[in-house]
Amino acid sequence: MKQLLFTFFLCSLGVSAQSSKSFLFNLYGGYTFSDKVEFDNSYAKVEDGFEYGAGLEYFFMENSSIELKYSRLDTKLPLYGPLGQQLNAGDDKGAINYVLLDYTHYFGTTSQKAQPFLGGGGGLSILESPQNGSGTYFAWEIKGGVKIKTGSPLSINLHAYLQSMTAAVGNSYYWTYYGIVGVSDYVSTYQFGLGASFSYDFSK
């Protein structure tokens, strides 16, 4: 009898796990604020702008999901010299493309109309620069917000996010006991943003 009850319990967990799995298609839009990047004798800016994209989110547990997401920020990338003069005036349009794999955890129960969430992930950024063409770099983000459900497969997410991109910008050389050693120099962007997404749940 105990074995039968235990088997029934495991089957119930399996059915519950199967029913909690779902796919969502997300459309993103948000406003990303600017950031300043310091170099040795100059600095650059990533200007603020509208960021948009889409993602496919998979719930492998009731309150936890992974998402493959693409977003794009069309922006300006002015470069300034030591005296503060812009070195690329009239040729500073660029873009940052993010391809990220995110994990998100939703708090509360799925029956709630509003569910807070936290998440983050990593992946690649593709920088389209007016001077250097395009380059691929490491990127990550963290996010938090609330999911607002409706009586249909559609829901709305309101969230804040912090995105970062790290790129190599050259080399520094140092005298050591073993001779001259070259070390790659890296800079990172840190851009905060506010946004929303519209989600469609294919399981409903």
Q: What does the mean pLDDT of the chain come to?
A: 83
Q: What is the percentage of the chain residues whose pLDDT exceeds 90?
A: 58
Distance CA 33, CA 108 (A): 31
pLDDT of residue 194: 98
Q: Which domains are assigned to the chain?
A: 20-201 (2.40.160.20)
How does 35-67 read in b/e, with b if 16+ C-beta sit within 10 Å? bebeeeeebbbbbbbebebebebebeeeeebeb
Please write the tens of the pLDDT for every residue from 43-98.
Answer: 889 999 999 999 999 999 989 999 999 999 999 999 898 888 888 888 889 999 99
Distance CA 188, CA 165 (A): 5
Please write the tens of the pLDDT for every residue from 126-140.
Answer: 998 876 678 899 999
Q: CA dist 77 to 129, 173, 186, 187, Å?
A: 7, 27, 17, 14
pLDDT of residue 132: 67
Q: Looking at the whole model, is its pTM more than 0.75? A: yes
